[in-house]
Chains A and B, each alone.
Chain A
Amino acid sequence: MKLIQRRVSPADSPLAIAASMGFAVLAALLITSLLFSLYRANPLTAYIALLREPFGSLRGFGYTLVRTAPLTLIALGTIVSWRSGFGYLGFEGCSVIGAAASAWLALFTSISSWVFLPAVLLLSFAAGAVWAGVVALLRARFGGNEVLISLMTNYIAILLVQYLVSGPMRASGGVPETALLPRATWLRFILPGTRAHSGILLALVAACVVWVLLRKTAVGYELIVSGLSPSAARFAGINVGRRLILAAVCAGGLGAWAGTVEILGEQHRLMDGISGGVGFTGIIVALLARLNPLAVVPAAILYGGMTVGANAMQRRAGIPSSITFILQSLIVLMVLASDLFRRYRVNLT
């Protein structure tokens, strides 16, 4: 009798999944603990500090919600595209394109404030939809590799925004950035005494809409079938190419909204580096949520909170905030690796 036996199929009871994920998170925390000890910080106090700032005070929680909104929107975009079989990775680009479109509408047109919000959401969504839709078109029509093409489009979008803020949209002054957006175009702050803005409400609504779209509508069903098996979908009469483009349009639009809530809710001006990696952290959030639109919200709150906590830790203890990148990616890598252990059983009898 071998102590460790291979299972015929991986253990997939909720308990097994929860336990393996729990161990995975624990392993990631342990590895990151070693890093904290490089800075002579007690790991336990460090982790408590990491959570106290974002969740221990109303002010801190406000910041957490500010970070949660774009992460949620990008994670939702990831879910729509990936579940439809479109491996899109261009959310960093979509988000800066959305931010640029929003800044343009706010600075260079004068629409009355109550039309502005729907107009900016529409424009930003359309900009992101076109940006991602082109990639889907290349994939659907010419068989281009969407993974690589979308990665390239990130760099192009970032350079485009660099050009806009140093040329046509630049405000007079030493720094390449636009003028401050007019106050009337800002998203409303929703919690008195905090920076939390209505972007989080948009993110929550979007999560519900995506859930309904994928779970309860015929289109969503066709999207998922196209993702699971393109040939079966084609056999059932689904136009897979068109579904792919639809998925890309939704994903690009959601990604662009992430830029919109960031610029109208928090930054209030367009500058280089406005997205700061949120396009990739958002994908990681979607993975942590196992591509479930509703699970995205708590996952985004956790990761958004971690970012807030890490910034506070850098200010106070001098521990670089880049450690959160390590922690956030390690957690997902370990969760992925934990699938391996569900393929075995320990035989104690």
Chain B
Amino acid sequence: MNAHRLVSLAFFTTWLAASVRLAGPVLLAALGETFAENSGVLNVGIEGTILLGALASFLTAYITGMVWVSLLVAMLTGIVFNLLLAWMYVTVRASQVVVGLVFNVLALGITATVYRRVMGESAGPQTVAMFAPLHIPWLSDLPLLGPSLFGQTILLYLTLAMVLVAHFVLFRTSFGLALRAAGENPSAADAAGISVPRMRYIGVLIGGATAGMAGAYLVLAQIGLFRESIVSGQGFIALGIVIFGRWSPWKAAVAALVFGACDALQLSLQVVGSNVPPQLLAALPYVVTILAISGLFGGKAIQPAALMVPYAKE
């Protein structure tokens, strides 16, 4: 009986739609991180920035009720906090893993404290206004692909447009070339007159903008409320997606879709009821991410040569 329901059209339709919906935030975060990593910075603090963006968008939406303003505030929050990260990574030249990790603890402390301060101790979870899924007559009602391709929120289409823009900027403009040079061979880039620190600041700040937006995506298009566990590793998964996507925006989009499919599959299996316990199903996206970046498949990933190496001008 279960097996029969599993293969039904309805299952696949909802699974596909959920895959695309769940891929959105990680893809958004991964897009900005692609810029940071191509400039030579592995931003482990992305998890914290997404969390701060989620809280900022939640509080703004709670107070104003305006979703676009909330998205903007989340983006600005991401930029401001990543300015601190960029300063630590680029100017102080501290270890990127260390700074990112400690920053995540800081972000957790800030969000927990601010949320309690604004919302009060005892208040239950409050919901806020969300982006509504689009409904395009005829297209959204297509069988199988309709809901997944034409029934998403505007944020998803914005994200997909940003994939194209990111790819163009990174690989078709002189700015993109300079950015990648800073991550590939900083001293040569420096000799060619490129300011390596400036490129890395820009990379990390772009990463902050999209990470903040990813947090807003979680709140405004997925669950409509805030909790401290809202991100639960999706920032780290975004880092994995950048590696699996070989530091290219459109490949990251494919990788994000694979992640979304796994996440949606485990959720759907929980709903239809399978014999595997739900907690073990929930581990599926993490396991798949580990396999994707383990080096077991697809040969060794060739990362930007100066990734995680602080640059000091001689």
Given contacts A89-B97, A152-B290, A280-B101, contact A143 B283 (CB under 8 A): no
One of A112-120, A183-191, A322-330 at the interface? A322-330
Cα distance A153–B287 in the bound complex, in angstroms: 8
Cβ of B105 and Cβ of A156 under 8 Å apart?
no
Asked if B3 is at the interface (CB within 8 A of a chain A CB), the reply is: no
Asked if B10 is at the interface (CB within 8 A of a chain A CB), the reply is: no
Cβ of A160 and Cβ of B236 under 8 Å apart?
no
Asked if B293 is at the interface (CB within 8 A of a chain A CB), the reply is: yes
Contact residue among B92, B102, B110, B233 (Cβ-Cβ distance under 8 Å from A151) = B233
How many A-B contacts are there with CB distance less than 8 Å?
137
Cβ of B102 and Cβ of A333 under 8 Å apart?
yes
Asked if B239 is at the interface (CB within 8 A of a chain A CB), the reply is: yes
Of residues 99 through 113 on chain B, the ones whose CB sits less than 8 Å from some CB of chain A are 99, 101-106, 108-110, 112-113
Asked if B123 is at the interface (CB within 8 A of a chain A CB), the reply is: no
Given contacts A155-B232, A156-B283, contact A322 B102 (CB under 8 A): no
Contact residue among A154, A156, A333, A339 (Cβ-Cβ distance under 8 Å from B287) = A156
Residue of A nearest to B294 (CB): A144
Asked if B5 is at the interface (CB within 8 A of a chain A CB), the reply is: no
Asked if A311 is at the interface (CB within 8 A of a chain B CB), the reply is: no
Cβ of A328 and Cβ of B94 under 8 Å apart?
no
Of residues 225 through 239 on chain B, the ones whose CB sits less than 8 Å from some CB of chain A are 232-233, 236-237, 239
Cβ of B101 and Cβ of A159 under 8 Å apart?
no
Cβ of B99 and Cβ of A336 under 8 Å apart?
yes
Cβ of B279 and Cβ of A281 under 8 Å apart?
no
Asked if B286 is at the interface (CB within 8 A of a chain A CB), the reply is: yes
Q: Which size bracket describes the interface of A in this complex?
A: 35 or more
Asked if B6 is at the interface (CB within 8 A of a chain A CB), the reply is: no
Contacting residues, chain A, for B301 (C-beta < 8 A) = 143
Residue of A nearest to B96 (CB): A147
CB distance from B2 to the nearest CB of A (A): 19
One of A162-170, A223-231, A236-244, A294-302 at the interface? A162-170
Contacting residues, chain B, for A283 (C-beta < 8 A) = 101
Contacting residues, chain A, for B282 (C-beta < 8 A) = 159
Interface of A is mostly: helix
Contact residue among A143, A154, A163 (Cβ-Cβ distance under 8 Å from B300) = A143
Cβ of A340 and Cβ of B117 under 8 Å apart?
no
CB distance from A81 to the nearest CB of B (A): 12
Contacting residues, chain A, for B104 (C-beta < 8 A) = 280
Residue of A nearest to B279 (CB): A163
Residue of A nearest to B91 (CB): A340
Cβ of A322 and Cβ of B109 under 8 Å apart?
yes
Contact residue among A163, A330, A332, A340 (Cβ-Cβ distance under 8 Å from B280) = A163
Asked if A19 is at the interface (CB within 8 A of a chain B CB), the reply is: no
Contacting residues, chain A, for B239 (C-beta < 8 A) = 148
Asked if A35 is at the interface (CB within 8 A of a chain B CB), the reply is: yes
Cβ of A322 and Cβ of B108 under 8 Å apart?
yes
Contact pattern, B 266-301, Cβ under 8 Å of A = 1, otherwise 0:
000000000001011011001101100111100011
Given contacts A163-B279, A336-B98, contact A138 B105 (CB under 8 A): no
Cβ of B116 and Cβ of A339 under 8 Å apart?
no
Contact residue among B94, B117, B283, B289 (Cβ-Cβ distance under 8 Å from A337) = B94
Contacting residues, chain B, for A332 (C-beta < 8 A) = 102
Cβ of B97 and Cβ of A320 under 8 Å apart?
no
Of residues 28 through 66 on chain A, the ones whose CB sits less than 8 Å from some CB of chain B are 35, 38
Cβ of A325 and Cβ of B283 under 8 Å apart?
no
Cα distance A306–B28 in the bound complex, in angstroms: 37
Cα distance A160–B287 in the bound complex, in angstroms: 12
Given contacts A280-B104, A323-B113, contact A287 B98 (CB under 8 A): yes
Cβ of B109 and Cβ of A340 under 8 Å apart?
no
Contacting residues, chain A, for B117 (C-beta < 8 A) = 38, 320
Asked if A142 is at the interface (CB within 8 A of a chain B CB), the reply is: yes
B positions within 8 Å CB-CB of A: 42, 44, 87-88, 91-92, 94, 97-99, 101-106, 108-110, 112-113, 116-117, 121, 232-233, 236-237, 239-240, 243, 277, 279-280, 282-283, 286-287, 289-290, 293-296, 300-301
Provide 11 A-B residue pairs closer than 8 Å at the C-beta atoms, listed in order of the A residue: A144-B290, A144-B293, A145-B243, A149-B290, A152-B290, A159-B282, A167-B277, A333-B88, A333-B99, A333-B106, A336-B102
Given A148-B240, A329-B109, 12 other A-B residues pairs in contact with their CB atoms under 8 A? A147-B42, A152-B287, A155-B283, A159-B280, A160-B280, A277-B108, A283-B101, A324-B109, A327-B109, A328-B109, A336-B98, A337-B92
